[in-house]
Structure 1
Amino acid sequence: MITNISLLSLWVKDIDESKAFYTDVLGFEVGEDLQLGPDFRWCTVVHPAQPEIQLHLSTPSNPLPDYLVEAMNRAQDEGGLPGVGMNVDDCRATYEELRAKGVEFLQPPEERPYGIEALMRDNSGNWMVLVEKRDYSPEDFEGVDLG
């Protein structure tokens, strides 16, 4: 039986630069960083409040076929890859703090039925959502356009 989620993989352009972004800018900690043979590096970061979930930072490469590596690289360059959602205690303050550190935001904090949400990119172009959650019900979404 599955008991929990322990690992999420993110495609990144450069493992060292992404590791620095997640640790120095977002406040994650290095989980593991191992070179496993000449062509594969296992690098994870974890959030201190949730160390049981590792974010695996990986570049598109073997064993993926060349056409898929090229497609992933194009998607990264266009900033079209999904990333992860993160809860925050104060979305507006987190937005200001991260903007001051140079983080690119696609959407400033906005009120939503489920809380306050901001949309950013990591340094590889992955979309990331920050949410200051609040209680809601299905009725809160009636007539709401989230597009």
Structure 2
Amino acid sequence: MSAFPTEDMEMTRLLVVSDVAASRQWYEEVLGAHVDHEYESACVLRILGGWLLLVPGGPPTEDKPTVTMAPPTDPDRVSAELIFRVRDCRSAYETLRQRGARFLTPPLDRGYEIRAFFRDPDGHLFEISELVA
């Protein structure tokens, strides 16, 4: 029996998007991700030492017979988000905003952290967060 997880394992975050090419461009231009490789209709990106897999929606398959893959239908109902811990939230906010990120609000100082939220073209939620010492 093998251990789980092991040090040689990696984790990939999968996002279902409505247009893989448009999303790839957004992730490259706004977040600075790099295309690692593309196959069929999907795209694998590298960002901050991790993997991000962009895939189109689709019907159930033999190995997931009850699962339909679909991009978010309501961006105000969220079950997951990706968080970037940054050293300077206000600076990251300005950089991302200049690159085309659309934030819900400017950074908010909550006392213990400064944070701001934005979405990708399909409505997936992202957060930039700075810990306040």
Q: TM-score, normalised by structure 1?
A: 0.70
How far is 1:14 from its partner? 0.8
Q: Which runs of 5+ in 2 are unaligned?
A: none
Q: Distance in 1 between matches of 2:87 and 2:54?
A: 25
Of 123, 129, 132, the residue aligned with 2:130 is 132
How far is 1:68 from its partner? 4.0
Of 102, 118, 121, the residue aligned with 2:119 is 121
Which structure 1 residue ranges, 4+ long, deviate > 3 Å from structure 2?
A: 64-69, 80-83
Distance 1:91 1:67, change over 3 A: same
Of 30, 34, 46, the residue aligned with 2:35 is 30
Task: Name 1:57's counterpart in structure 2.
Answer: 54
Distance 1:114 1:2, change over 3 A: farther
* 1:29 partner amino acid: H
How far is 1:98 from its partner? 1.7
Cα deviation digits, residues 119-147 of structure 1 (max 9, x gap): 10011111111112345xxxxxxxxxxxx
Superposed CA RMSD: 2.4
Q: Distance in 1 between matches of 2:12 and 2:66?
A: 25
Q: Distance in 1 between matches of 2:52 and 2:67?
A: 25
Task: Name 1:11's counterpart in structure 2.
Answer: 16
Pair 1:2 & 2:16 matched: no
Q: Which has the higher helix share?
A: 1
Q: Distance in 1 between matches of 2:81 and 2:27?
A: 12
**Contact 1:88-1:94 at 8 Å conserved across structures:** yes
* 1:117 partner amino acid: R
Distance 1:5 1:125, change over 3 A: same
Q: Distance in 2 between matches of 1:130 and 1:29?
A: 19
Cα deviation digits, residues 83-104 of structure 1 (max 9, x gap): 3111222110111122222311
